[in-house]
Chain A
Amino acid sequence: MRRFELLEPRSVGEACRFLSEYGEGAKLLAGGTALVKLIKKRLIHPSYLVDLKGIRELAYIRWEEEGLRIGALTTLSEIEGSSVVRGQMGVLGEMVHGIGSVQIRNVGTLVGNLCFGDPGSDAAPLLMVLGASLKVASLGGVREIPLEGFFKDFYETGLGEGEVVEEIGIPVLPERTGVVYLRHSVRAGFDPAVVGVGVVITIGGQDGRCEEARVVLGGVRATPFRVEGVEESLRGRVVGESLIRKVVEGALEGLEVMQDVRASADYRRQMVRLYVERGIGVAMERAKGGRA
């Protein structure tokens, strides 16, 4: 592996200082499962790595009034095994369990996964549909970036120079809300998703009609995106199986999707339709059962 210097800040402020000082030549290291691989494969050539691992107070999972907060150093395994996550936001644990292998989850972090900006990330569409946002520190202070709008292009995010993500916050869901994340990959296991779909549905009234719906697709284009056409056609309606099929078919017609080694555009479009349908069905069931 090409040589680099390892910088070991003791605080987030110091990490921001290192990043500002060394600019483009410096990269942040959290778990490192993606970063070290990129350096080994000679895809990036940083001169400095700013290792966050010494800032242990960045590893936490907290459930507070506003919702769930997860620190930048919290590993995927810690999230998967957390009783707080299981109790308050089971869907997050389910999704995380599907990422990589045990060995990767023991080291990789959720925040790192998002900051990598991989179009095949499973975390990105689910957290986006959940309305999550990032708490980002820099020498100038702290700002919050909603995940929706954070992803700019393949492996590109809205993080500026000298910025460090401290945590991700996921707001509390309303009552009678169902959430699901479904993914399709060519092989089971850790093959990047051909399509990943996150669905949040809130129902209300005596007839359980859909009050709010959010649908986000990942793995389909360079960045995850909301499918507003589907969302709009669900709102205010009593959602049954035949409506789902009709709505989804109509709203997804002509959807622009990418093609790559894993799927042709046509196959991907068909899988998108199928998984959006299934996702809405499961989210509806969960909303009725009152389970996130």
Chain B
Amino acid sequence: MRRELKLRVNGEDYILGIEPHRTLLEVIRKELGLTGAKEGCGGGECGVCTVLLDGKAVKSCIMLAMDARGKEIWTIEGLARGGELHPLQRSFIEHGAIQCGYCTPGMIMSAKALLDKKPNPEEREIREAIAGNFCRCTGYLSIIEAIQAVSDSRKLV
């Protein structure tokens, strides 16, 4: 049976009718057409499905959409403003922290969750913040540098 689900995603309000067995990731991708967050392992390990739920990084592939009711969600699509990339997105490009790009949306959302809470984290904290995001091209060092560069340079919006 379909249920009403109100969500606020990237600053826009949605009212959807969804079945309760749908994951948050499925709803974001299939109902809203936001395909930045992806299904990798499908079991909450690889982190490519990471989105922010009320400012906290969560794995949307193992969360029921119904459990996100009334919450504020941000995905990678919500970061750029007026055609301008978010500082984290720019920094990832500048530091070569993207290769195949598959892990990038999740990595950036995890990094954003950290920097929003702690604008100047220690390297250890950056590593812990992205420990739940796998990169199989293994550019971890450049990813850490990209995040560090943003944290040094400015406070995030």
Contact A107 B63, beta carbon cutoff 8 Å:
yes
Contact B67 A3, beta carbon cutoff 8 Å:
no
**Contact among A2, A103, A189 for B44, CB-based, below 8 A:** A103
| Given A32-B67, A40-B43, A51-B67: A103 and B19 interface contact (C-beta under 8 Å) | no
Segment at the interface with A among B77-85, B86-94, B127-135: B127-135
Q: How far is the CA of A36 from the CA of B67 in the complex (A)?
A: 12
Contacts of B20 in A (CB 8 A): 4-6, 49
Contact A106 B58, beta carbon cutoff 8 Å:
yes
The smallest beta-carbon distance between B103 and chain A, in angstroms, is 13
Contacts of A77 in B (CB 8 A): 56
| Given A1-B23, A2-B21: A102 and B44 interface contact (C-beta under 8 Å) | no
The smallest beta-carbon distance between A74 and chain B, in angstroms, is 14
Q: How far is the CA of A41 from the CA of B62 in the complex (A)?
A: 11
B157 at the interface (CB under 8 A from A): no
Contact B21 A4, beta carbon cutoff 8 Å:
yes
**Contact among A1, A39, A103 for B57, CB-based, below 8 A:** A103
Contact A40 B42, beta carbon cutoff 8 Å:
yes
| Given A3-B19, A77-B56: A102 and B66 interface contact (C-beta under 8 Å) | no
The smallest beta-carbon distance between B75 and chain A, in angstroms, is 14
Contacts of B22 in A (CB 8 A): 1
Contacts of B45 in A (CB 8 A): 190
Contact A32 B131, beta carbon cutoff 8 Å:
no
The smallest beta-carbon distance between A97 and chain B, in angstroms, is 8
| Given A32-B63, A40-B62, A51-B66: A106 and B131 interface contact (C-beta under 8 Å) | no
B59 at the interface (CB under 8 A from A): yes
**Contact among B3, B42, B43, B129 for A6, CB-based, below 8 A:** B3
Q: Determine chain B's interface SS by DSSP, over half rule.
A: mixed
The smallest beta-carbon distance between A205 and chain B, in angstroms, is 40
Question: Within B15-44, which residues are at the interface with A (CB < 8 Å)?
Answer: 19-23, 42-44
A157 at the interface (CB under 8 A from B): no
Contacts of A40 in B (CB 8 A): 23, 42-43, 61-62
A145 at the interface (CB under 8 A from B): no
Q: How far is the CA of A5 from the CA of B56 in the complex (A)?
A: 27
Contacts of A237 in B (CB 8 A): none
A interface residues, how many (CB within 8 angstroms): 27
The smallest beta-carbon distance between A5 and chain B, in angstroms, is 7
| Given A32-B62, A40-B42: A53 and B132 interface contact (C-beta under 8 Å) | no
Interface centre among B1, B63, B132 (most CB of A within 10 A): B132
| Given A32-B62, A36-B23, A101-B131: A5 and B44 interface contact (C-beta under 8 Å) | no
Contact A103 B47, beta carbon cutoff 8 Å:
yes
Question: Within A45-88, which residues are at the interface with B (CB < 8 Å)?
Answer: 49, 51, 53, 77
Question: Within A217-255, which residues are at the interface with B (CB < 8 Å)?
Answer: none
B149 at the interface (CB under 8 A from A): no
Contacts of B63 in A (CB 8 A): 32, 36, 107
Q: How far is the CA of A108 from the CA of B64 in the complex (A)?
A: 13
Contact B67 A53, beta carbon cutoff 8 Å:
yes
| B26 nearest CB neighbor, chain A only | A1
**Contact among A1, A5, A104 for B59, CB-based, below 8 A:** A104
Contacts of B113 in A (CB 8 A): 102
Contact A103 B66, beta carbon cutoff 8 Å:
no
Question: Within A104-152, which residues are at the interface with B (CB < 8 Å)?
Answer: 104, 106-107
Q: Which A positions have Cβ atoms within 8 angstroms of B? A: 1-6, 29, 32-33, 36-37, 39-41, 49, 51, 53, 77, 100-104, 106-107, 189-190
Q: 28 pairs across A/B with beta carbons < 8 Å?
A: A1-B23, A2-B21, A3-B21, A4-B20, A5-B1, A5-B20, A6-B66, A29-B64, A32-B64, A36-B63, A36-B64, A37-B44, A39-B21, A41-B43, A49-B64, A51-B66, A53-B67, A101-B47, A101-B133, A102-B57, A102-B110, A102-B113, A102-B131, A102-B132, A103-B44, A103-B47, A103-B59, A106-B56
Q: Which B positions have Cβ atoms within 8 angstroms of A? A: 1, 3, 19-23, 42-45, 47, 50, 53, 56-59, 61-64, 66-67, 110, 113, 128-129, 131-133
5 further contact pairs, Cβ within 8 A, besides A5-B1, A33-B44, A40-B62: A32-B62, A32-B67, A37-B62, A49-B64, A101-B132
